[in-house]
C-alpha cells in the first residue's frame, strides 16, 4: 500500500535526514516508526503526503508513484494526525471534525452527520462535546477529535506523528487501547511515529526501528524484542525487554495448569480425597456452566457443625481473577498482582467465561521463557536468563 524505494532526503543545509530508505507497508497494516528524536521519522512521514519531497528515490501509494499525483488530491486519500492536533480554536468540535468533508464539497447536513458519527466512533458524545470549542476539552479529548477529523473523509491511509505524545501516561494508555479497538474496526493502513518503544510494541503489527536516517530493523514486535538485529536495536529496546515481551506474548492453551476440578454441591470429603489422590495442593471450583468460582485448598476440614454433610461450597475460597485465552502475559501478571492471587482462571472468552485452565506464576514464567527462546535461539544464554520475571512473580498458592 505504501512503498519507499531508496528514498533519501537531504535538507538545504546539508543534513541527511533519511538515507536510502526502502520498506513496504501492506494494506490494513499498522507500522510504528520508532527511534530517538532527530532520526528522520517525521521526515519519512511527510514524504508520504508530499509535505516534503525526497531528494532521491520514489514513494508509491497503492502502486502509484506519488510524485505524479496532485498533492491536494493525494492528501484526500491520507488522513494526518499530529501531536499539536491543529484544531481551529474558533470552530466547534463538530465543525472542526467536518472540515475535510466541507472542503470536499459535501452538503452541510451530510458533513455534520458524518462528523457526529466519527466523534461517536472515537468515544466522544457528539451531543455533549460537539458544540464545545477545542479549549474546552482535555488534552486526551482534543487528541480524539484529531483522530476523528483525520478519518472524516474515510481515507485508506493514516499518518500519525506522535499523536499521544503530549498526554499523561494513564490517558495515553487509555487512548492506545481505544485506538487499537478503532483500528480493528476501520482497518486503515497506518504509519504511526513514536519515540516510545513501549508504544511502538503495543500498537504496531510491525515496527521500524530507526537509527540515524536509516531503519536498523523492520520486524514484528516479538522479533524486535526477542531477536534485536543489531547492538543498536538491543540497546534501544533496553535491558528490560523481557518485561516488554510480556505485552506481546499471548496466553496459550499449552501454558495452562489443570488442577482437579470440583463442584460446589459435591461432598467436601469426596473432593478433598480426590485432591489428595491427585497429589495437588488445591482444586478449581466451577459452577454448572463451567465458570470458575474459586478454589479449594487440599486438606480442607469441614466445620465441626456440618461434619460429613459439608459440601465444597463451605470450603470454597472465592477468586475473581480471570483472563481470556490469548490475552497478553502482561495482563495476567497485572491481574495476579492486583488480586494478590497465586493463580488466574483462564476462560474461553469474556462473555461466556468458560474455564479452560489455570495460569500460575510458574507457568507464566515458562511461557515467557518459551516465547523468548522461540526467536532468540542465537542470544547468549546469560542474556536470556536475565529476561525472566522470576523476581516479579508472586508466590504460588
Ligand atoms: P524526528 O521526527 O525523528 O525527530 P525529523 O525527521 O524531524 O526527525 O528530523 C531529522 C533530521 O533532519 C534532524 O537532524 C533535523 O534536525 C533535520 N531537519 C528536519 N527538518 C529540517 C529542515 N526543514 N531543515 C533542515 N534540517 C531539518
Ligand atoms: Mg518528529
Report the CATH number that the domain containing residue 269 is assigned in CATH.
3.10.580.10
Task: State whether 38 and 17 are in the same domain.
Answer: yes
Domain count along the chain: 2
Q: How many angstroms does the Cα of residue 34 sit away from the middle of ligand 2?
A: 10
What is the arithmetic mean of pLDDT over 105-114?
A: 88
Q: How many angstroms does the Cα of residue 326 sit away from the middle of ligand 2?
A: 34
3-class DSSP state for residue 18? strand
Task: Determine the structural domain holding residue 317 and report its residue range.
Answer: 253-365
Taking the whole predicted model, whether its pTM rises above 0.75 is answered as no
CA dihedral 116, 122, 125, 127 (to 10 degrees): -20
Residue 370 within any structural domain of the chain? no
Query: Is the C-beta atom of 17 inside 6 A of ligand 1?
Result: yes
Q: How many angstroms does the Cα of residue 44 sit away from the middle of ligand 2?
A: 9
Judging by beta carbons within 10 Å of its beta carbon (0-12, 13-18, 19+), is residue 304 exposed, middle or buried?
exposed
The length of the chain is 397
Backbone CA torsion sign across 211, 215, 217, 222: positive
Task: State whether 185 and 311 are in the same domain.
Answer: no
Residue 33 within any structural domain of the chain? yes
Task: State whether 157 and 232 are in the same domain.
Answer: yes
What is the arithmetic mean of pLDDT over 23-39?
A: 95
147 pLDDT more than 90:
no
Would you state the pLDDT for residue 391? 32
Ligand 1: which residue has its CA nearest to atom 12? Answer: 17
Q: How many angstroms does the Cα of residue 9 sit away from the middle of ligand 1?
A: 10
When mean pLDDT is compared across 45-49, 114-118, 387-391, the lowest value belongs to: 387-391
Q: What is the pLDDT of residues 157-178, one digit of tens each?
A: 999 999 888 777 777 887 888 8
Each residue of 228-265: b (16+ CB within 10 Å) or e? beeebbbebbeeebbbbbbbbbebeeebbeebbebbbe
380 pLDDT more than 80:
no
Residue 228 within any structural domain of the chain? yes
User: Is the Cβ–Cβ distance between 31 and 205 less than 8 Å?
Assistant: yes
pLDDT band at 373 (very low <50, low <70, confident <90, very high): low
Query: Is the C-beta atom of 15 inside 6 A of ligand 1?
Result: yes
Residue 28 within any structural domain of the chain? yes
Task: State whether 95 and 227 are in the same domain.
Answer: yes
Ligand showing the shortest atom-to-Cα distance for residue 16: 1
Q: Which of 192, 221, 247 is the last residue of a domain?
A: 247
Amino acid at each position: 500500500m505504501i512503498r519507499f524505494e531508496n528514498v533519501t532526503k537531504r535538507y538545504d543545509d546539508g543534513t541527511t535526514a533519511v538515507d536510502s530508505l526502502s520498506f513496504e507497508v501492506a494494506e490494513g497494516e499498522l507500522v510504528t516508526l520508532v527511534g530517538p528524536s532527530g532520526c528522520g521519522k517525521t521526515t519519512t512521514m511527510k514524504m508520504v503526503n508530499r509535505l516534503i519531497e525526497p531528494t532521491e528515490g520514489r514513494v508509491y501509494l497503492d502502486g502509484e508513484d506519488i510524485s505524479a499525483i496532485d498533492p491536494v488530491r493525494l492528501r484526500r486519500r491520507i488522513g494526518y494526525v499530529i501531536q499539536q492536533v491543529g484544531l481551529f480554536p474558533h470552530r466547534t468540535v463538530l465543525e472542526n471534525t467536518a472540515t475535510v468533508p466541507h472542503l470536499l464539497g459535501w452538503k452541510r447536513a451530510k458533513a455534520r452527520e458524518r462528523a457526529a458519527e466519527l466523534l461517536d466512533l472515537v468515544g466522544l458524545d457528539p451531543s455533549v462535546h460537539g458544540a464545545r470549542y477545542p479549549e474546552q476539552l482535555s488534552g486526551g479529548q482534543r487528541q480524539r477529535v484529531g483522530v476523528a477529523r483525520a478519518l472524516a473523509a474515510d481515507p485508506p491511509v493514516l499518518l500519525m506523528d506522535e499523536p499521544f505524545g503530549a498526554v499523561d501516561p494513564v490517558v495515553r494508555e487509555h487512548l492506545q487501547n481505544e485506538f487499537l479497538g478503532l483500528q480493528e474496526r476501520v482497518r486503515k493502513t497506518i504509519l504511526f511515529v513514536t519515540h516510545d518503544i513501549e508504544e511502538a510494541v503495543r500498537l504496531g503489527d510491525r515496527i521500524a526501528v530507526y537509527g540515524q536516517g536509516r531503519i536498523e530493523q523492520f520486524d514484528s514486535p516479538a522479533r524486535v524484542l526477542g531477536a534485536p538485529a543489531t547492538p543498536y536495536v538491543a540497546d534501544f529496546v533496553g535491558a528490560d525487554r523481557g518485561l516488554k515481551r510480556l505485552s506481546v506474548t499471548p496466553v496459550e492453551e499449552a501454558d495452562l495448569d489443570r488442577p482437579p476440578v470440583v463442584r460446589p454441591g459435591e461432598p467436601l470429603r469426596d473432593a478433598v480425597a480426590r485432591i489428595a489422590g491427585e497429589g495437588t495442593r488445591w482444586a478449581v471450583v466451577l459452577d454448572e456452566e463451567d465458570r470458575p468460582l474459586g478454589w479449594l485448598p487440599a486438606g480442607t476440614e469441614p466445620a465441626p457443625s456440618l461434619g460429613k454433610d459439608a459440601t465444597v461450597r463451605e470450603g470454597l475460597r472465592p477468586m475473581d481473577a480471570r483472563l481470556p485465552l490469548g490475552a497478553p502475559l502482561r495482563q495476567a501478571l497485572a491481574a495476579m498482582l492486583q488480586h494478590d492471587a497465586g493463580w488466574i482462571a483462564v476462560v474461553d472468552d469474556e462473555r461466556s467465561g468458560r474455564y479452560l485452565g489455570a495460569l500460575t506464576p510458574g507457568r507464566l514464567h515458562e511461557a515467557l521463557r518459551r516465547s523468548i527462546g522461540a526467536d532468540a535461539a542465537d542470544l547468549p544464554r546469560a542474556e536470556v536468563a536475565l529476561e525472566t520475571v522470576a523476581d516479579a512473580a508472586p508466590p504460588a498458592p
